Every structure is written in C-alpha cells, then in structure tokens.
Amino acid sequence: MRSVEWDAQHNQLWLIDQRLLPAEFRRVALHTYEEVAEAIRTMVVRGAPAIGAAAAFGLALAAQQARGSRAAVLETLQQAARVLKAARPTAVNLAWAVDRVLSVAQATSGGADDLRAAVLAEAQRIADEDVATNRRMAEYGATLIADGDTIIHHCNTGALATVDWGTALGVIRMAHEQGKRIHVLVDETRPRLQGARLTAWELEQYGIPYDIITDNAAGFFLSRGEVQKVFVGADRVAANGDVANKIGTYMLALAAHDNGVPFYPVVPTSTFDLRIAHGRDIPIEERDPDEVLAIQLRGRPVAPAGASARNPAFDVTPHRLITAIVTDRGIIRPPFDVHIPRVLGTA
C-alpha cells in the first residue's frame, strides 16, 4: 500500500496518518488543497519525497476545486501553490513538486478540463517516479552493506516517508531481501520519535532484526566497534554536499566520523538544491515547543510547568563528515562540489 495514493473513483487523496502509528493504522481521505497543506504541517504525512507527492496531488485537488475558465483554474493553482509551499520550509521536494506541476499546467493548452487532467497526470507521474527512484537508490545503496553489518538509522526513511519503498530504509530493506544478515539500531529520533514509532514498525513488517536505542546512545555503540555503517535520509542537499536532515543527524555524523564509521545519506536527485551553495543557507524549520514540553514519563510531564523550549526540526551535516551520498543516479563521493554537478548533469 502506498503512503500517498490517489483515489480516481472518488477524486480524493488517501494518506496514512503517521501520527497514529504504531498503535493504530488509519488512512485519511483529503478533498481540498487546504486539507493537504494542513496534513503536511501537522505531519499526518512526513518525509521529503512523500510531502512532495502529497503537495502535487494537492494541486490536483485545487484544480478540481476551481470553477470557471482555464484562467480561473490557473489562478487557483497559483494560490494553492503558495499555501502548500509554506506548509514546511526545509524539505526542497515540496517546492520542487509544486513548481513541476505548475510548469506543466502553464504549458498545457486547451480548456479548464484539459488543465485539470494535465495537473492530475503530472502529480501521478511524480508519485510513480518516486517509487522507481527509490528502488534504484536501494540497489545502489545495498552494494555498500556487507553480510553481518549492524547499521544505525536515524528518523524514518522507509515507505512511510516516500510514496513507497523508501530511501535509507529502502537500502536496508533491499540488503535484507538480498539475503544479507543485518541488524539495525534504530535511533528513537526525539522529540517526535519517528524512529521508535515508524522505523521500528516498518522493520517489523519486513522481518528485519532491530533494537531501539536513545539518540544519545549512538556514540556508545559506535565507539565500541559494534556498528559498521550509518544510513540516513535528507530533506535538502546544498551544492557543496552539506545535508539538512532530521535534528540529531549532525551529532550522529560527528560520532561516526570520530570512530571511522562510514556515514551515508540516501537522497533522490530531486532533494538536491544547487541554488544553495552551503548548508548554512538552508532554511531550518522550528516547530511548536510543545512537541518537546508535552513529553510525558509514566503519565506525568517531564518538563517543569512554565518551562520554555527550542525545537528545531532539522540540522545540517557538513560534507566533510559524509563518506558518500547514495542517489538514484549512482553513489556520489567527495569532492562533492565537483561530482554532484557531474552526476546531476549540470556541470
């Protein structure tokens, strides 16, 4: 089952509500682009590729909402694009997918119905391409995993974070399906616990052995020589190879580097943003402090009443800490400022 799926019979978008896992598996139906934007903001859907696909289908819903002439549909699409892009600022796939659909819409001739059909077709194409892209990345990345490896994984990068299959977790899944005996140490990924809630749930479905660890235990296992590889995803990659990913990735990369353990982001080419030269220029989303302050232990609040918190959703790992970047066009190794443009065809 896809995490982002268009229902052609009822002209609606189905999403897996990831806030409820692992306790409950539920799909929700969305009917307007405003509902899609809210689902992205509230993390009903999350993961850069999944957000991009959801936003593309959000434009398809916007085209359906619009009444009147071709010009009226285009105006609604522009309005919807602004709302969708503002839902979450860090993941470049969101703006990439919206801009791609808008470009097709603007180039489409004919009337309003032709425009609606073209927008929906492009959104479906983005979703289908994502699945194929992830399979290619998985095949490339699995070559980096040896039989018997223990791997640390941060956040969730599986089928839930994409349309299907996954990025970093897709690589791990592919290695498992190839018969390699692997074990995964799953970072909890605080404060929203995507690792403990979502990655562990997916590994259960695949039958891959794992242990959940606290984020601050990763350095312990790395320093003891118990980990052979680290695989993570990414929400945006700068032209020099700096990677923005879920908060905690930078500390994990530092610990891996200090212990000589290879560190691999797994990234579709749509996640590269060559307009941004350095990671320091990537916008970092800060989320509601309540995500930190509302955490409870045995039913009681952890933080004192009246406490304040900072809650950045992402951090940036500098390219000097990265062994290689796995993409759907192959494995990119340093120097990244030379090899990224070559692989992406912009050199």
The verdict on 156 and 94 lying in the same domain is: no
Give, for all 347 residues of the chain, the pLDDT tens digit.
799 999 999 999 999 999 999 999 999 999 999 999 999 999 999 998 999 999 999 999 999 999 889 999 999 999 999 999 999 988 788 999 999 999 999 999 889 999 999 999 999 999 999 999 999 999 999 999 999 999 999 999 999 999 999 999 999 999 999 999 999 999 999 999 999 999 999 999 999 999 999 999 999 999 999 999 999 999 999 999 999 999 999 999 999 999 999 999 999 999 999 999 999 999 999 999 999 999 999 999 999 999 999 999 999 999 999 999 999 999 999 999 999 999 998 86
Q: How many domains does the chain have?
A: 2
Are 154 and 232 in contact by the 8 Å Cβ rule? The answer is yes
The verdict on 219 and 83 lying in the same domain is: no
CATH code of 66's domain:
1.20.120.420
3-class DSSP string for the chain: CCCEEEECCCCEEEEECCCCCCCCCCEEEECCHHHHHHHHHCCCCCCHHHHHHHHHHHHHHHHHHCCCCHHHHHHHHHHHHHHHHCCCCCCHHHHHHHHHHHHHHHHCCCCHHHHHHHHHHHHHHHHHHHHHHHHHHHHHHHCCCCCCCEEEECCCCEHHHCCCCECHHHHHHHHHHCCCCCEEEEECCCCCCHHHHHHHHHHHHHCCCEEEECHHHHHHHHHCCCCCEEEECCCEEECCCCEEEECCHHHHHHHHHHCCCCEEEECCHHHEECCCCCHHHCCCCECCCHHHHCCEECCEECCCCCCCCCCECEEEECHHHCCCEEECCEEECCCHHHHHHHHHCCC
- Signed CA dihedral, 33, 34, 38, 41: sign only: positive
Task: Give ∠ CA 212-215-221 in degrees, rounded to 5.
Answer: 75
Q: What are phi and psi of 148, to 5 degrees?
A: 95, 0
CATH code of 299's domain:
3.40.50.10470
- Which of 150, 167, 251, 253 is closest to 202 using CA atoms? 167
Q: What is the residue range of 294's domain?
A: 138-344
* The predicted structure's pLDDT at residue 99: 96
* The predicted structure's pLDDT at residue 154: 98
The verdict on 39 and 86 lying in the same domain is: yes
Looking at 69, 104, 135, which one is the last position of a domain?
135
The verdict on 319 and 258 lying in the same domain is: yes
* The predicted structure's pLDDT at residue 160: 96
The verdict on 124 and 167 lying in the same domain is: no
Q: Which of 130, 187, 215, 235 is catalytic?
A: 235
The verdict on 181 and 324 lying in the same domain is: yes
Amino acid at 253: A
The verdict on 189 and 326 lying in the same domain is: yes
Indicate whether this model's pTM tops 0.95: no
Q: Is 235 assigned a catalytic role? A: yes
The verdict on 114 and 145 lying in the same domain is: no
The verdict on 67 and 147 lying in the same domain is: no
